[in-house]
Amino acid sequence: MDSTTGVAYDRVPYDRYVHAGTLHRLQQTNTDDPGEMSFLMISQIMELYFNLIDFELREAQRALRTDEVWESLAPLRRAALHLDGLNASWQGLRWMSPADFNRFRANLGDASGMQSAMYRHLEFRLGLKTASLTRPHRVDPEQHDALQRTLAEPSVWDDAIAALARRGYDIPATLLERDHTVEHEPDPAVEAAWADVLADTAPDNHLRLLADALTEVAEQFSEWRYRHLGAVRRAMGAKSGTGGTNGIGWLEQSMNRVVFPELWSARTHV
């Protein structure tokens, strides 16, 4: 009870609200090297960001699926800002040279950031679909099943294209009723629709605002991949990744996959 207002309420201490005690007990390094603490904690921060960004994208999808384009903008804009924060996390690892990393790398075993289930959810949500990438997670059936569900769901881009169709744009039915476990292939009709949207600068054109919000998400995600590649180059050069990938080659190949492809190619025709 507040003695000045007479209003009763339960106070929730900050530490309990954010589960600070739990968070600060999660940093359990495998070596005594002080640099490993930075590597571990920043990796955990990135995991939290993956979860937060995925949450925002799911919120945007819920709005798009009920044709509430305006309501989808806020979570998409938040997702872009969270991606900006995620990208800034790499700054905390700029100190790490190959010699620094080697002091604890061997103790990581087969652990690799490419095994992150939450990152994989995020990629699938953005439309980068590769079914084979769920296989490493079969050791955890619950995790594997969750990834399979995300893989089979429409991506943010699929939902944006469906919104175009509901607003009268000529989108082929084959794009609206397809196997979503397979990555979307760029289509001229989708490109033409987005070109029309981008050319309409009316202030009440919510689809153009959607295009702007999606563009920011795609740009920030591309920046994440670029910074990841730079961090790997700095810390380990062209060595194989700890998870068995070919390191730089794998990351360079992944960067060639464009998020929301027609949103970029359409600009040529505006």
Q: What sign has the CA pseudo-torsion 162, 165, 169, 173?
A: positive
Q: Which two tokens stand for residue 192?
A: 């033409």
Q: Each residue of 105-142: pLDDT tens digit? A: 988 866 666 689 999 999 999 999 999 999 989 999 99
How many distinct structural domains can be found in the chain? Answer: 1
pLDDT, residue 21, reads 94
pLDDT digits 0-9 by tens, 32-81: 999 999 999 999 999 999 999 999 999 999 999 999 999 999 999 999 99
Question: Do residues 239 and 110 touch, judged by C-beta distance below 8 A?
Answer: no
User: What are the residues whose beta carbons fall under 8 Å from the beta carbon of 8, sequence distance 6 or more?
Assistant: 1, 2
Residue 139 lies in a domain: yes
Q: Bigger pLDDT: 269 or 110? A: 269
Question: Is 234 contained in some domain?
Answer: yes
| Tokens (6 digits) for 109 | 């075993």
Length of the chain in terms of residues written: 270
CB atoms within 10 A of CB 233: 13
Q: Does position 82 have pLDDT exceeding 80, yes or no? A: yes
Read off the pLDDT of residues 189-198 as tens digits, 9 standing for 90 and up: 999 999 999 9
CATH of the domain at 168: 1.20.58.480
149: which residues sit within 8 A by CB, 6+ positions away?
none
Look at residue 242 in the predicted model and tell me its pLDDT. Answer: 55
CA within 13 Å, CB half, 196: 11
Per the domain annotation, does 178 fall within a domain?
A: yes
pLDDT tens-digit map of 198-246: 999 999 999 999 999 999 999 999 999 999 998 888 888 877 655 555 6
Inter-residue contact 46 to 86 (CB < 8 Å): yes
Q: What is the mean pLDDT of residues 17-21?
A: 94
- What local confidence, expressed as pLDDT, does residue 4 receive? 55
Domain-embedded: residue 122: yes
Check whether 105 is labelled as a binding-site residue: yes
- Domain housing 169: 40-269
Determine, yes or no, domain membership for 116.
yes
242 is in an annotated binding site: yes
CB contact set of 138 (below 8 Å; sequence gap of 6+): 144
With 0-12 / 13-18 / 19 or more C-beta atoms within 10 angstroms meaning exposed / middle / buried, residue 132 is exposed
The answer as to whether 142 is a domain residue is yes
**Given this model, what pLDDT does residue 1 score?**
44
In a domain, 79, yes or no: yes
pTM: 0.90
Mean pLDDT estimate for the chain: 91
pLDDT of residue 252: 80
**Domain presence at residue 30:** no
* Angle, vertex CA 111, rays to CA 109 and CA 116, nearest 5: 175
Q: What is the pLDDT of residues 163-190, one digit of tens each?
A: 999 999 999 999 999 999 999 999 999 9
